[in-house]
């Protein structure tokens, strides 16, 4: 099943896929922190920022063994999502929050048609909702069985199709919405162990993000025979702003000048467990012109993984997708995360996995130039061949939000 394929033994144990001779130097740490920034000029006309904490170990996002065993015993459950985003399915208001228990439509349908889908989803949802209410400290009641014919829910919740969306059925339960900062403190205190909460890193940024207006929280369980994938995520959409993508300072939208890895990773060699992702959905096709810090072109070499830099998954076209790896660095400054893009006429020598060489140039724009450190204005040019499949194998793209 897709959920097993994408369940990210690769994401959270991603280094296991890297065939390097001295891979024993790496440690297997299931916990991962990610920061995502989406500049969407085309669909939502907004900037979406999110911080995700992810793991396959229920000691790092704490759900009871009994609950997970009950979920795993039902092979038809595709995922479970709690969110206060509101309007999770049609008919749910902005003043409500949801628990969605998701199934595959085709698996439920069998020979019984849509009535069997509705009855089966309701019965299986009712069997779990009491325990889920206890976990999420809610009193959610049944709202509806919703059959997804498009991917709106994925995009709203910034999730992948493995959670919900086209081809899925959601047994949906609702209750009154609570503020994100309250839920973060309440549920974070229950689900996230003190060791991670007190170790800073991306967790501290997610806490600050939860305190901002219009932020929302989502908590997901994706069951698998191998291991369950658990996600604790805070997201905010920034609307009514001019979205410029010529020059981007990623940390600016978080209101910070530097980003530091969690102390949870101290004394461990886990270069792929802290990821910063930049997605650009431009009005017209664009290409990455220049970036600060260097480009990682080969993820199979140890020395590349231990050096901070950008891995370019999609360098041009209708969506640009870049991932920044910390390597063995603890803290990354804003200047190291700046990206420059330019229009792309689709006639230059570029494919989905490569980008034409660009001559090194000094960026003269004031918003990038640091007069005290002239070297920081010299962007390293892209001249890369992106190997097909590496981006998909190492990372897990959760989609982007299209809700107006």
Domain boundaries defined on the chain: 28-45+239-404, 55-193+216-227
Closest CA to 326 of 270, 391, 257: 270
Any idea which residue has 């709106």 for tokens? 152
What mean pLDDT comes out for the span 254-265? 94
pLDDT in tens, 173-200: 999 999 999 999 999 999 999 999 999 9
pLDDT greater than 70 at residue 21:
no
pLDDT greater than 60 at residue 4:
no
Q: What is the spatial distance between Cα 81 and Cα 70, in angstroms, rounded to a whole number? A: 16
pLDDT in tens, 368-388: 334 333 333 323 323 222 222
Any idea which residue has 């990038």 for tokens? 368
User: Between 106 and 266, where is the model more confident?
Assistant: 266
Tokens of 306: 């231990």
| Lowest mean pLDDT, pick from 35-49, 78-92, 187-201, 296-310 | 296-310
pLDDT in tens, 297-308: 777 777 778 889
């Amino acid at each position: 099943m897709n959920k097993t394929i994408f369940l990210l033994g690769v994401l959270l144990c991603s280094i296991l896929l890297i065939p390097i001779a001295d891979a024993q130097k790496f440690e297997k740490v299931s916990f991962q922190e990610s920061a995502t920034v989406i500049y969407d000029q085309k669909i939502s006309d907004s900037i979406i920022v999110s911080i995700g904490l992810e793991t396959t170990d229920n000691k790092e996002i704490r759900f009871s063994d009994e609950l997970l065993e009950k979920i795993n015993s039902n092979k038809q459950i595709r995922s479970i999502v709690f969110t206060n985003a509101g309007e999770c399915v049609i008919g749910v208001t902005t003043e409500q929050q949801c628990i969605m228990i998701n199934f595959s439509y085709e698996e439920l349908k069998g020979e019984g048609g849509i009535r069997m889908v509705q009855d089966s989803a309701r019965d299986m949802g009712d069997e779990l909702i009491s325990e889920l209410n206890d976990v999420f400290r809610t009193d959610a009641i049944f709202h509806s069985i919703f059959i997804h014919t498009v991917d709106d829910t994925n995009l709203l919740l910034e999730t992948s199709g493995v959670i919900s969306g086209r081809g899925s059925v959601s047994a949906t339960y609702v209750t009154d919405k609570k503020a994100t900062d309250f839920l973060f403190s309440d549920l974070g205190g229950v689900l996230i162990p003190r060791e991670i909460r007190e170790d800073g890193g991306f967790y501290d940024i997610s806490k600050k993000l939860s305190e901002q207006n219009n932020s929302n929280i989502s908590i997901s369980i994706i069951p698998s025979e191998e291991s369950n994938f658990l996600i604790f995520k805070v997201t905010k959409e920034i609307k009514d702003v001019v979205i410029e993508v010529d020059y981007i300072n990623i940390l600016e939208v978080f209101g910070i000048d530097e980003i530091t890895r969690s102390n949870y990773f101290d004394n461990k060699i886990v270069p792929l467990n802290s990821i910063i992702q930049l997605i650009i959905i431009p009005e017209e096709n664009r290409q990455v012109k220049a970036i600060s810090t260097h480009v990682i072109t080969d993820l199979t070499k140890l020395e590349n993984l231990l050096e901070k830099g950008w891995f370019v998954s999609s360098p041009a076209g209708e969506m640009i997708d870049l991932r920044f790896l910390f390597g063995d660095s603890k803290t990354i400054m804003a200047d190291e995360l700046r990206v420059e893009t330019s229009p792309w006429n689709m006639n230059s020598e570029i494919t989905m996995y490569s980008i034409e060489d660009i001559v090194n140039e000094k960026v003269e724009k004031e918003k990038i130039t640091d007069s005290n450190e002239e070297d920081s204005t010299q962007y390293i040019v892209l001249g890369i061949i992106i190997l097909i499949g590496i981006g998909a194998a190492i990372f897990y793209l959760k989609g982007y939000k299209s809700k107006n």
